[in-house]
Amino acid sequence: MTEKNVSENFITQIIDADLASGKHAQVHTRFPPEPNGFLHVGHVKSICLNFGLAEDYQGQCNLRFDDTNPDKESVEYAQAIQKDVEWLGFKWSDKVLYTSDNFDQLYGYAEELINKGLAFVDEQSPEQIRETRGDFTTPGTNSPFRDRPSEESLDFFRRMRAGEFADGAMVLRAKIDMQSGNLNMRDPIIYRIKRQHHIRTGDKWCIYPMYDFSHCISDALEGITHSVCTLEFADHKPLYDWVLDNITIDCHPQQIEFNRLNQTFTITSKRKLNELVEQGVVDGWDDPRMPTVSGMRRRGYTPTSIREYAKKSTVTKKPSIIPMSMLEDCVRQELNASSPRIMGVLNPLKLVIENYPEGQSEMITAKNHPMDESFGTRELPFGRELYIEADDYKEGANRKFFRFTEGREVRLRYAYYLTCQRAIKDENGNVIELRCTYDPETKGGSSPDGRKVKGTIHWVSAQHADDVELRLYDRLFNVVSPKGMDDLNPESLLVLNNAKLEPGIIEHSNDVQYQFERMGYFYRDKTHETDKPIFNRIVNLRDSWAKQEQQ
């Protein structure tokens, strides 16, 4: 049985009932982003839910761009969104669709509402419309133009389309109920004048439909069965149904709302994310600290781990906040099984084995994955001079420190037992080199006399190591519910320019996630390299933020 993309929830129960009753013969969903920015983690749940439902029920899912606000939209954003959806592993039905494909039909339906006396052209200013709309405690006031004859509104609407009036001079409003407790039903605007070049229709139109009018009709024209959206659209559902109930159209999709993905330590406001980009806090929308899909891709997250995260994010009618650690755990779980192990030294300290013959080297056999023999083995060069992590040495350490200190024996991973004899310091008292001896009888990491050592550390051959740059990324914000710039994590990026990597990795590192033993998971950032290879840390081996998330 094929594993489901979407765990059972109230939406799958609705779909099951619809299919069982014969209401629908096939499931048809859609993902309708506006091409005005990059997709982020908040979109991921909706993507995985809409496309996942279609896959699980052998149905269809459309990718439709809501391109009704031309001053903020671009072809580049549309292309980036398509790339993200494809990278996540989803395919849309047939071609990419656009709301602008339906502009002529949408205009026709607007005229139909006018002819039915259900829409009128309002010449009030935007400020007047806002004032007369009322609020949650005050009912709205009818526009003085609400009862103008349909023929007159139709004439004005056609002249709006012809470009006779200035932007903002008038709008087309649906005639519903200014006394409604739902503000969305108080004669909402459904068309406005907006002279703005459109990414697909050019300058053909100077009036554009509002989302609440165009979205439901586009759903119906495409034969969508279940219009799945987030909870903020629940108050818009009566308007969704009103439009479809009052025009001549055969299909009436069912709008179903679910809780959006809100994540700790994360901001998903496009305005605030754009501020980070424009002020140079991050180096673009694909900065690995950004919550964008492109940022996660560049950092080294995998599509399957992100999809698993979305699957674990419970689909309910109640708002919720998901711990970022859940996403990181999904990434770790996959990479733990799929990532080959290698050795890389982040902060190198030179180590010299005094009793190892000068000019001699040998090959050490290392496992590519300690828990999966199918990964095979590799050969690592070993010699007199090595690099280890600087913090694997501590002067005068107590018995609870199991790494190098004077007189203590430590195991080198896959190699030998070494004993630290002394540390060499510079004029400032900084340790710059360790002098050790090794036991040649312990090759492979065990002693023939049965003696045990508690510490095992990684290493690379100084003669053969490759120089690499490592970028240690952490969370962009250091509070659970960040508001903006004041909550930035000053340690969200640490660049290490002097890291060392075992040989033979760089030429085979494209699109491979590695575990640097003891150090975390890393991914090569080849498109942003200059003079040396760059590896981004994807995630630590363990979560270091759990306590803060639980507070």
Is 341 a residue of the active site?
A: no
CA 46 to chain centroid, in Å, comes to 12
CB-based contacts of 501: which residues, under 8 Å, 6+ apart?
A: 342, 343, 344, 345, 460, 465, 466, 467, 468, 533, 535
Distance of alpha carbon 98 from alpha carbon 218, whole angstroms? 9
Question: Please, are residues 268 and 42 in contact by the beta-carbon 8 Å criterion?
Answer: yes
Strands 321-322 and 262-263: parallel
Angle between helices 237-245 and 211-221 (to 10 degrees): 60
Distance of alpha carbon 272 from alpha carbon 337, whole angstroms? 36
Q: What are 540's two structure tokens?
A: 């630590």
How wide is the angle at C-alpha 400 spanned by C-alphas 396 and 401, nearest 5°? 55
CB-based contacts of 16: which residues, under 8 Å, 6+ apart?
A: none
Select which of 133, 148, 270, 443 is catalytic. Answer: 270
Q: Amino acid identity, residue 310?
A: A
CB-based contacts of 161: which residues, under 8 Å, 6+ apart?
A: 107, 205, 206, 207
Distance of alpha carbon 534 from alpha carbon 518, whole angstroms? 19
Is 34 a residue of the active site?
A: yes
Classified as helix, coil or strand, 534 is strand
Match 């280890």 to its residue by tokens. 388
Distance of alpha carbon 168 from alpha carbon 124, whole angstroms? 9
State the alpha helices, DSSP H only, in 116-178.
Answer: 126-132, 150-162
Distance of alpha carbon 551 from alpha carbon 544, whole angstroms? 14
Instruction: Count each helix (H run) and each strand (E run) in the chain, helices first.
Output: 13, 27
Select which of 64, 175, 237, 260 is catalytic. Answer: 260
> From the CB of residue 2, how many other CB atoms can be counted at a distance below 10 Å?
6
Distance of alpha carbon 367 from alpha carbon 68, whole angstroms? 56
Angle between helices 103-115 and 211-221 (to 10 degrees): 110
Question: Please, are residues 192 and 165 in contact by the beta-carbon 8 Å criterion?
Answer: no
Distance of alpha carbon 315 from alpha carbon 261, whole angstroms? 9
Is 55 a residue of the active site?
A: no
Q: Which residues pair with 531 in a beta bridge?
A: none
Distance of alpha carbon 13 from alpha carbon 317, whole angstroms? 14
As annotated, the active-site residues are 34, 260, 270
